[in-house]
Amino acid sequence: MAAPLLLAPMAGISSLPFRRTMKECGAALVFTEMISANGLIRDGRKTVELLRSCADEKPLAIQLFGDDPQVLAAAAQLVGDQADLLDINLGCPVKKVVRAGAGSALLRNPQRVGQILAAVRRVFAGPLTIKIRSGWDQTHLNYMEIGQIAREEGVNAICLHPRSRSQNFGGTANWQQIAELKARLDIPVIGSGDLFHAADVLRMFTTTGCDAVMIARGAYGNPWIFEQAAALLQQQVPAPISTEQRWSVIRQHLRWHLAEFGEHKALIEMRKHLSWYAKGLPTATQFRGRLHDITSWPTLLDEAQNFFCSSPA
């Protein structure tokens, strides 16, 4: 069985080509970025685009956000056939989302959380999870209460990113809270937060007892984190990534991006990913400078090939 290493939902990042790349490199399950339930109901074109998928990324977890139980249930019904797992976002700290009463704003309204989960559970029979932060702020840490509610409403697993909404991404994730949730809840707990290297993944499993982990920023330019972490979990030494292997993955990522978005958008998006792939390599700064000035896809390909094929493993 594949190691329980999941690719986290990341708005603006977890596109289909990114998810395929992570899947190819060993992610057991990939999540879409959060998708607006309201947008889906209104059939917003952009929202529907976020649901584009393909066979080789399966199984696919779809994450929804919203504030209204009936709208979320209607959205769950719409995507039910496509979702191998459905996740409800109860943790997003972004102002626009919170102002609309969704994401982490719901942590302040446990009763509403119960209503949402009951409504979604009624219409979706597959695996249902929630993803939360530890609370609204440091004086309102209610991850345990939300976890209990989720369990009572038939949620199958809960993912905790143990920072409060007010912490945003500051400080460090308090993994102790993952350990506490795992110790007190009898449904699986998925840990998230500060998994930047394969060794962090091993440490999260051993220190929290969590059932699975969700990797987010640590996958930026480093899809190999999945197989390296899987090796560590099996008490093996991770194999180094050769120059050829690295270029082969990057080239595939480029191709998938082009096929999905066309030259203009793929160029803009892949500049960001290529900058991440270059991290730690000699002359990465100069390479990033050149990327910034590139305006055509063939030039981007040439630059990337020259740089990554001539950089040491």
Ligand X SMILES: Cc1cc2nc3c(=O)[nH]c(=O)nc-3n(C[C@H](O)[C@H](O)[C@H](O)COP(=O)(O)O)c2cc1C
- Residues marked active site are found at 92
Using the rule CB under 6 A, give the single segment among 11-19, 246-254, 258-266, 288-296 that binds ligand X: 11-19
Length of the chain as a residue count: 313
Phi, psi values for residue 180, rounded to 5°: -65, -45
Does 218 bind ligand X (CB under 6 A)? Our answer is yes
C-alpha angle 203-209-215 in degrees, rounded to nearest 5: 55
Q: Which of 3, 7, 9, 135 binds ligand X (CB under 6 A)?
A: 9
Do the beta carbons of residue 194 and residue 165 sit within 8 Å?
no
Smallest distance from ligand X to CB 212, Å: 13
Does 217 bind ligand X (CB under 6 A)? Our answer is yes
Does 161 bind ligand X (CB under 6 A)? Our answer is yes
Q: Spell out the residues 6+ positions from residue 289 whose beta carbon is closer than 8 angstroms to its own.
A: none
**Phi-psi label, residue 55: left if phi above 0, alpha if psi -120 to 50, beta otherwise:** alpha
Does 91 bind ligand X (CB under 6 A)? Our answer is yes
Smallest distance from ligand X to CB 86, Å: 13
Q: Which of 7, 19, 33, 232 binds ligand X (CB under 6 A)?
A: 33
* Three-class SS of 168-181: CCCCCCCHHHHHHH
36 membership: H or E segment, kind and range: strand 29-36
Nearer to ligand X, 35 or 278 (CB): 35
Using the rule CB under 6 A, give the single segment among 54-62, 213-221, 244-252, 295-303 that binds ligand X: 213-221
Q: Which of 19, 20, 131, 253 binds ligand X (CB under 6 A)?
A: 131
Within positions 53 to 82, which residues make up the interface with ligand X, using CB under 6 A?
63
Smallest distance from ligand X to CB 169, Å: 7
Q: Which of 98, 116, 202, 216 binds ligand X (CB under 6 A)?
A: 216
Does 194 bind ligand X (CB under 6 A)? Our answer is yes
Q: Which of 193, 226, 232, 308 binds ligand X (CB under 6 A)?
A: 193
Smallest distance from ligand X to CB 273, Å: 13
Does 192 bind ligand X (CB under 6 A)? Our answer is yes
Does 93 bind ligand X (CB under 6 A)? Our answer is no
Q: Which of 15, 36, 89, 174 binds ligand X (CB under 6 A)?
A: 89
Cα separation, 198 vs 202, in Å, equals: 7
Does 19 bind ligand X (CB under 6 A)? Our answer is no
Total binding residues toward ligand X, as defined by CB under 6 A: 22
Q: Please measure the distance between the N-terminal and C-terminal CA atoms of the chain and give it in whole angstroms.
A: 29
Nearer to ligand X, 33 or 260 (CB): 33
Smallest distance from ligand X to CB 103, Å: 8
Q: Which of 195, 201, 254, 258 binds ligand X (CB under 6 A)?
A: 195
Task: Quote the tokens at residue 26.
Answer: 């060993």
Does 34 bind ligand X (CB under 6 A)? Our answer is yes
CA distances from 34 to 29, 137, 160, 240 (A): 15, 22, 16, 33
> H helices within the chain, ranges in order?
16-24, 37-41, 45-49, 69-79, 95-99, 110-123, 143-152, 175-184, 198-208, 225-233, 243-277, 284-293, 297-310
CA distances from 46 to 36, 86, 103 (A): 10, 19, 20
Cα separation, 27 vs 19, in Å, equals: 9
Residues that bind ligand X (CB under 6 A): 8-13, 33-34, 63, 89, 91-92, 131, 161, 192-195, 215-218
